[in-house]
Homo-oligomer: A and B are copies of this chain.
Amino acid sequence: MSPRREPVSRRERPAKPALSRDGVVGLAFRIMREEGLERVTMRRLASELDTGPASLYVYVRNTAELHGALLDELLAELFVESETLGAPADWRDRLIDLLSRFAELLFGYPSLARSLLVLMPHGPRYLRLVDTVLGLLLEGGASPRAAAWGVDVLVAHAVATAAEHGTRDESVTGADEFDTLATVAASASASDYPHLDRVRDELFSGTGGERMRWSFEVLLRGIESAP
């Protein structure tokens, strides 16, 4: 409250902030948002924090652990404004809505999604997500086993879809025409690949959102009727 609590620092740099785990993760999150996960490197973080890369290893174990922290940061957005809709929807709708929002979040950060596939996250917000999905499956009458095994499949599906189709330039592969299955499938001969030929039109029909919803519904229907 009191004005000019401190004299203006003698240097132009706005007072080098003390290093801390939160500081490192926060900076990493900002860079991920603004430039994508590939720009979040130990060296980049270090140089932005005016230190050497070795210093970061005091606060994070390694890159994988840092990515885990970034996921949990991202998942914070999943649990704000949860109850905006008036009518308390059907468990199935709530579940598909939750999973879709989770997937949507990851779609913005496909590299993070790819990292998660090998990471096995375990932050509190991730556990919250798993617990909520489990609760909805059980509410829908799934057996404990079907719920437990099902939550894995559902979450993994969301992550994998984001890793595959996530939007953001990145352009790991040169975005020439070489890379689209559409062109390959289009030129695949009907005699070599008769079934592919038969469903050709449907292979690339629908929007990403439609297919995502469809696949969650398929998964759910299967899990419900599983032993």
Contact = CB atoms under 8 A, between A and B. Distances in A.
A39 interface: no
B214 A218 contact: no
A147 B222 contact: no
Contact of A118 (B61, B163, B185, B211): B163
B127 A184 contact: yes
A199 interface: yes
Contact of A218 (B114, B159, B161, B223): B223
A71 B43 CA distance: 33
A196 interface: yes
Interface in A101-120: 110, 114, 117-120
Contacts of A215: 149, 153
B149 A117 contact: no
- Stoichiometry (number of copies): 2
Q: Report the contact-size class of chain A (Cβ under 8 Å from the partner).
A: 35 or more
Interchain residue pairs A-B with the least CB separation, the first 6: A222-B222, A218-B222, A160-B160, A148-B202, A134-B195, A122-B184
Interface of A: 61-62, 64-65, 110, 114, 117-120, 122, 127-128, 130-132, 134-135, 138, 144-145, 147-150, 152-153, 156-157, 159-161, 163-164, 172-174, 178-181, 184-185, 188, 192-196, 198-199, 201-203, 205-206, 211, 214-215, 217-223, 225-226
15 contacts: A62-B173, A118-B164, A119-B173, A120-B164, A127-B188, A135-B195, A144-B198, A144-B202, A150-B218, A153-B215, A156-B160, A218-B219, A218-B222, A219-B222, A221-B225
